[in-house]
Structure 1
Amino acid sequence: MKSHAATLLAEVRTFRQNHPDVRYVDLIALDIPGHFYGKRYPVDMLEKVAAGSPLKLPQNAVLLGAQGGLFKIGDYCFHDGDPDANRRLVPGTLKPVSWEAQPLGQMLITSDGTEAPIEFEPREVLAKVLERLHRKGIHPVVAFELEFYLFDKKLSDGLPQFARDPLSDDADDQPNLHIERLSRFAPVLDDMVETAKAQGIDITVITAELGPGQFEINFGHLDDGLRAADWAALFCRSTRGVALKHGYRASFMAKPYLQHPGSGMHVHVSLYDAAGNNLLAAHQQQPLRHAVAGCLELLPHCMPIFSPNHNAFRRLGGTVNAATRACWGYEDRDACVRIPESDPRNLRIEHRLASADANPYLVLAAILVGLEQGLEAAKEPIAPLNEDRNSGTDFPLEMLEAVRAMQHQPALREGLGAEFVDVYCENKRQDHLAFQQEIHAREYRWYL
């Protein structure tokens, strides 16, 4: 059996043989706000890393705010000497980049699995949750769905413009679900799908959504939660690049138009034992009800993860299928936690609350902690919406209140890690306060 280093080295050498024109590879990881950071490595140096040479990046790169700045968070950033931290290459993720002007490659890196993982790195947070579940004999199967908008490449006074219909050159300004929109935008959508497949991502269903220029992409179900979140993160990166190549701007912003639906991240999760039995379907689906109860109980404390910025809170209670209370239901898209119709083998929850620009590693980690807590507490959930349309519990609808609800929640601190929760909450608090430090034209219109 090949060693880890031998496997990576073989992957790099095979890539070089198949892509001899590629001279550089982007080594990338997701930070707390969900942006990629990293380094562009000469491909010959990548062979040395694969063979075991150290790969170090600043630890505090994970802490960057939405605009890339650093905030003082405890002793991090300004009182710790800005230390480096080891990263490792993620096997199987070295792929060609087709949307750049010059031949390029990219590969995921992470601190999980190193001697000193970064406790607040999103991928490491999810890795720890999955490892704990596996020790308990719980094996999640996961599938993401992502909604996004296409805009014209050029902004108008900083504001997005509707995508141009390539057949008529008119603005695609009419919200609809018509299948013809998939045909009209086929060149860019097909390229997005083929590019994602070249990254190793299993794309299944494409839907024209209700918003103008809005689409949804579904990914295949995976028994590797880390890989499922990798797919969601990498798809966002490649889709933005492909859109620009075709003269569009792709955005996963939660609520780009107040009058049109927002974009969500829907996560399907089922839980199996080592023998492949669906744990949620046992005992007349009683564990399903317990899992739902756990999700709903923790949901109000996870809002900074599910709605990670000021704009994401605008999506809640919007025009279509975005709840403002923690609720659940069978085949009900108004519910935060929906139970799709399925046979017992495929029984699962669909968590629908997160915005499309949320961090997929952290969204999945928070959902799994809720399911875990629910199975262990074995409580009954509140009534489903199918029985009571007013059923539900309140959750915070603005960032500072949401941070307060998250920071001292014992189950979250235990399930996600106390250090992560403290760092994440302070990052969100500082980001929100920084966002407020600008006077917009509306304030002058109202108060001058």
Structure 2
Amino acid sequence: MKSHASTLLAEVRTFRQNHPDVRYVDLIALDIPGHFYGKRYPIEMLEKVAAGSPLKLPQNAVLLGAQGGLFKIGDYCFNDGDPDANRRLVPGTLKPVNWESQPLSQMLITSDGTEAPIEFEPREVLAKVLERLQHKGIHPVVAFELEFYLFDKKLDNGLPQFARDPLSDDADDQPNLHIERLSRFGDVLDDMAQTAKDQGIDITVITAEIGPGQFEINFGHLDDGMRAADWAALFCRSTRGVALKHGYRASFMAKPYLQFPGSGMHVHVSLYDGAGNNLLAAHQQHPLRHAVAGCLELLPHCMPIFSPNHNAFRRLGGTVNAATRASWGFEDRDACVRIPESDPRNLRIEHRLASADANPYLVLAAILVGLEHGLEAKREPIAPLNEDRSSGTDFPLEMLDAVRAMQHHAVLRDKLGAEFVDVYCENKRQDHLAFQQEINAREYRWFL
């Protein structure tokens, strides 16, 4: 414990020496909907926390809805006295924030690893899954890919406007994959990539996607699944900040335009044993097939995680590379679970179903549970799309149906935690119902 505190203290003191102009630090964590919450501390107080002083925030901050409101979920929020819960600093995450007008820093905090972790905290859910896999001798290697849109900074009566081409000042309203778009928006994209690197994130490939103003950024492969999810979460925060600094609005919204492709979160996962052997490639790739079968079996019951809001369900089907059935295939981007071409050492799955605004900790936890379940059950998957284009199993395409499919599923309650499943499902149910409590202009136009 003392060694851990001394390491944190050294990190804080080194940071202060390297960044003497920084006066405050944002201590942040991701809630259930995937938003950061936390507190802004004077930087000198961070040394006390690093040395062992208690760090407490309300437990129920994790339960906030998409708009920040609290829902009654069991005895939480309204019958529990709104208690505090201990958090800890995440080593290695104290970094400068360069998109604000004043010098600032940020650092991740979490309840996992404390004496009483919050069972429904997303990071704690993933921590338990990773710990269980480690005890079984299974070591995931993970890489995220995130798609997002750039919009003009100003909305038009609440609606997004196409990003302005900085070279011509025209709206970038042409969907394409042209490399020139990377040059036209090079200043903001370069700043996003450099800012991410300043946060310790390994940015690799940048792609201009099909939608107007749509891009994809890939991260490096990591043998630390928690850190990979941290990267995805932190990238979303820094990218939004950098975009505003450049006069744009960056959004990971799943389906901002009905006529253009949505934005997804693609997750590459391979599994290794303690000796570094790829478990999926062993025994003529039978474990790969079993893992795929497990993912597809649990996928319909994980839809509230992969599509966490009303808009995310709009992304499924009808456009490029977004399935409406649980499917798999080799080198097939229409599949939910794609097997990229690779050598046996790098054999992996690419899970393509989650929307870009999903919670990366929970998405990875759900994927790993599917792989784990498949390796244990050892069932054969349905035919790949390469053999049968109609292959696939149905999954819910509406939130309330999805919640019902998730809440009482025995495998998910066992492997993700029953308390988490109950809390998460009720949070999604209440968020969905709250979303419905507004009459929009179309409703008056149709029925008045």
TM-score normalized by the length of structure 2: 1.00
SS at match of 1:140: strand
Supply the distance in 2 between the matched residues of 1:134 and 1:107 (Cα, whole angstroms): 26
Does the CA-based 8 Å contact 1:265-1:354 persist in structure 2? yes
Does the CA-based 8 Å contact 1:174-1:212 persist in structure 2? yes
* Runs of 4+ in structure 1 over 4 Å off: none
Supply the distance in 2 between the matched residues of 1:47 and 1:140 (Cα, whole angstroms): 34
Does the CA-based 8 Å contact 1:65-1:71 persist in structure 2? yes
Supply the distance in 1 between the matched residues of 2:174 and 2:319 (Cα, whole angstroms): 15
Deviations 1:164-192 (A, max 9, x none): 00000000000000000000000000000
Deviation, structure 1 residue 319: 1.2
Supply the distance in 2 between the matched residues of 1:28 and 1:187 (Cα, whole angstroms): 28
Supply the distance in 2 between the matched residues of 1:2 and 1:380 (Cα, whole angstroms): 49
Deviation, structure 1 residue 146: 0.1
Deviations 1:6-35 (A, max 9, x none): 000000000000000000000000000000
Structure 1 vs Structure 2 CA RMSD: 0.7
Does the CA-based 8 Å contact 1:262-1:318 persist in structure 2? no
Deviation, structure 1 residue 42: 0.5
1:316 aligns with 2:320: no
Supply the distance in 2 between the matched residues of 1:204 and 1:2 (Cα, whole angstroms): 37
Does the CA-based 8 Å contact 1:365-1:416 persist in structure 2? yes
Deviation, structure 1 residue 2: 7.4
Supply the distance in 1 between the matched residues of 2:308 and 2:378 (Cα, whole angstroms): 30
Deviations 1:44-91 (A, max 9, x none): 000000000000000000000000000000000000000000000000
Supply the distance in 2 between the matched residues of 1:318 and 1:39 (Cα, whole angstroms): 42
Deviations 1:80-123 (A, max 9, x none): 00000000000000000000000000000000000000000000
SS at match of 1:428: helix
Residue equivalent to 2:103: 103
Supply the distance in 1 between the matched residues of 2:124 and 2:18 (Cα, whole angstroms): 31
SS at match of 2:227: helix
Deviations 1:245-265 (A, max 9, x none): 000000000000000000000
Supply the distance in 2 between the matched residues of 1:362 and 1:415 (Cα, whole angstroms): 12
Supply the distance in 1 between the matched residues of 2:71 and 2:237 (Cα, whole angstroms): 25
Does the CA-based 8 Å contact 1:27-1:41 persist in structure 2? yes
Deviations 1:203-253 (A, max 9, x none): 000000000000000000000000000000000000000000000000000
Supply the distance in 2 between the matched residues of 1:2 and 1:167 (Cα, whole angstroms): 55
Supply the distance in 1 between the matched residues of 2:227 and 2:131 (Cα, whole angstroms): 14
Residue equivalent to 2:396: 396
Supply the distance in 2 between the matched residues of 1:173 and 1:138 (Cα, whole angstroms): 46
Supply the distance in 2 between the matched residues of 1:283 and 1:96 (Cα, whole angstroms): 47
Supply the distance in 2 between the matched residues of 1:183 and 1:43 (Cα, whole angstroms): 38
SS at match of 1:207: strand
Supply the distance in 1 between the matched residues of 2:408 and 2:321 (Cα, whole angstroms): 30
Supply the distance in 2 between the matched residues of 1:344 and 1:369 (Cα, whole angstroms): 22
Residue equivalent to 2:56: 56
1:274 aligns with 2:274: yes
Deviations 1:399-430 (A, max 9, x none): 00000000000000001000000000000000
Supply the distance in 2 between the matched residues of 1:358 and 1:349 (Cα, whole angstroms): 19
Deviation, structure 1 residue 318: 3.1
Deviations 1:413-448 (A, max 9, x none): 001000000000000000000000000000011101
1:157 aligns with 2:157: yes
Deviation, structure 1 residue 271: 0.1
Residue equivalent to 1:174: 174
Does the CA-based 8 Å contact 1:144-1:218 persist in structure 2? yes
Supply the distance in 1 between the matched residues of 2:206 and 2:350 (Cα, whole angstroms): 18
Supply the distance in 2 between the matched residues of 1:224 and 1:7 (Cα, whole angstroms): 19
Supply the distance in 2 between the matched residues of 1:444 and 1:223 (Cα, whole angstroms): 53
SS at match of 2:2: coil
Supply the distance in 1 between the matched residues of 2:289 and 2:3 (Cα, whole angstroms): 43
Does the CA-based 8 Å contact 1:126-1:226 persist in structure 2? yes
Supply the distance in 2 between the matched residues of 1:241 and 1:124 (Cα, whole angstroms): 27
Does the CA-based 8 Å contact 1:321-1:335 persist in structure 2? yes
Alignment of 1:29-428 (within 5 A): 29-428=29-428
Does the CA-based 8 Å contact 1:252-1:357 persist in structure 2? yes
SS at match of 1:263: coil
Supply the distance in 1 between the matched residues of 2:86 and 2:290 (Cα, whole angstroms): 39
Supply the distance in 2 between the matched residues of 1:238 and 1:157 (Cα, whole angstroms): 26
Supply the distance in 1 between the matched residues of 2:10 and 2:105 (Cα, whole angstroms): 16
Structure 2 residues not aligned, in runs of 5+ = none
Query: What percentage of residue pairs aligned between the two structures are identical?
Result: 92
Supply the distance in 2 between the matched residues of 1:218 and 1:191 (Cα, whole angstroms): 15
Does the CA-based 8 Å contact 1:384-1:391 persist in structure 2? yes
Deviations 1:299-351 (A, max 9, x none): 00000000000000000003100000000000000000000000000000000
Supply the distance in 2 between the matched residues of 1:201 and 1:63 (Cα, whole angstroms): 27
Supply the distance in 2 between the matched residues of 1:240 and 1:164 (Cα, whole angstroms): 16
Supply the distance in 2 between the matched residues of 1:401 and 1:214 (Cα, whole angstroms): 30
SS at match of 1:338: strand
Supply the distance in 1 between the matched residues of 2:90 and 2:192 (Cα, whole angstroms): 23
